[in-house]
Structure 1
Amino acid sequence: MAVAEMKWTSTALIVIGMQKDYVSKTSPSRMESGEVILPNVIKTVDVARSRGMPIVWVVREHDHLGRDVELFRRHNYVTPDKPKPVIKGRPGTELVDELEIKDSDYKLVKTRFSAFFNTNLHSYLQAIGVNSLVIIGLQTPNCIRQTVFDAVSFDYQSVKVIADASGAAAPDIHEVNLYDIRKINVGTPTLEEWSKPI
């Protein structure tokens, strides 16, 4: 196997939160940035597939009463008229229609910001020989940031966030979080920069 091929098969693409409740126009929990970054998320996934990279789809799915939601927002799940996103078994938990989990991919369900917290993500990645991560999706100050910091704590050799394939509630929030994670040696290339052949 060529060096470049080995690099990509030991690098996993982690796609976080690209679910209908967070991206679809009709959802009360929608983030506008989800729709903005969707074309670049699609392209990033296509590039990852062409390189033979393992792909992990990270989604939230919650109990209908919110019993597994973070304490600070659990009240939303028992209050009438409040949006109750990503309820287990409901269509809002599904990926947006433009994205697809293939048989060779891995789906991971989480109930907290970090994709590593109380999940088997680290053991799964170790089992398939992954030592580097590329992270995209929603949203930068919460799920992406927490996943990045945990990946650094687990000593992944390289961690990158594709700057224009990830987003937050507002562009300035996104940018300040990218600035912050660069301080812990996490790369934040654009899709164009990351897609260049090695």
Structure 2
Amino acid sequence: MKTALIVIDMQNSFLHPDGENYYPAAADVIDNVRRLIAAAGACGVPVVHVADRHRQGFEDFENKRLPRHCVSGGFNAEFFDGFGPSGRPNEIEIVKRRFSAFFATELALFLNEQSAEQVVLCGVKTNVCVRATAQDAFANGFEVCVVSDATNSNREHLAEASLEDIERYMGRLISTDEALEMLS
């Protein structure tokens, strides 16, 4: 089964101590996500680096529920050190303006063009962007695998509930080690 790795929101906003949405536990996923990217890159598996970015000075529906964040061109919107496309031929960037990396982006089209049948999801935050992406991946007909030790949230109880829902209704939970085997 052809697989793609989707790396969600590994940006300064969440991971850098000066980030506007920083939470200390975010750092716990960095090493595992880096291992997944390296394994995928070594084997030519498509890697999709997803960035949450919003436009300065324009209305954005997301701001009805959240403060303005990850403004394009700003520090918070940039990928955290060591993340984002590195120039390898199998890596792309998808910019999203909502929680799901699929909503109003070309992600499903890109994955279908690569003949991907399965997606491996990692990144931040489990109960928001990872969950929304998992749900839309399932709705778009992809087999969904979420790397449970390569995603987390600042709301641990919501992360746990989201992982339970993902496993029950949308896909399966795997460890970094299991994902590394799938990606190689």
Q: TM-score, normalising length from structure 1?
A: 0.84
Describe the SS at the equivalent of 1:59: strand
Pair 1:131-2:117 in alignment = yes
Q: TM-score, normalised by structure 2?
A: 0.90
| 1:184 partner SS | helix
Q: CA deviation at 1:47?
A: 1.6
Post-superposition offset of 1:66: 5.4
Give the superposition deviation at 1:49: 1.5
- Kindly indicate whether the alpha-carbon contact (under 8 Å) linking 1:15 and 1:137 is maintained by their aligned counterparts in 2: yes
For residue 107 of structure 2, what is the amino acid of its counterpart?
A: L
Separation (CA, whole Å) in 2 of partners of 1:56 and 1:22? 18
Render the CA deviation track for 1:19-72: whole Å, top value 9, x for unaligned.
011110122321223211111111111121223210001101111235124142
Partner of 1:58: 50
Range with greater deviation from structure 2 (147-156 or 24-33): 24-33
Corresponding position of 2:39: 47
Q: Give the secondary-structure state (helix, strand or coil) at the position aligned to 1:38.
A: helix
| Equivalent residues of 1:21, 1:28 under 8 A apart | yes
Aligned to 1:15: 7
Shift of 1:98: 2.3
Provide the rounded CA distance (Å) in 2 between the counterparts of 1:112 and 1:196: 31
* Residue 81 (structure 2) aligned to one of 97, 108, 119: 97
Q: Secondary structure at the match of 2:169?
A: coil
Q: CA deviation at 1:169?
A: 1.2
Q: Deviations over 1:98-157 (max 9, x none)?
A: 22412321100000011111111111111121111000001111111111111111111x
After superposition, give the CA deviation of every residue in 1:60-105 in whole Å (9 maximum; x if it has no partner): 111123512414236x34xxxxxxx211111221111122412321
- Structure 2: stretches of 5+ with no match in the other structure: none
8 Å Cα contact 2:29-2:149 kept in structure 1:
yes
CA-atom RMSD in angstroms: 1.8
Structure 1 residue runs without a partner (length 5+):
1-6, 78-84
Q: Could you say what secondary structure the match of 1:175 adopts?
A: helix
Tell me, yes or no, if the aligned pair for 2:84 and 2:93 is still in contact at 8 Å.
no
Aligned pair count reads 181
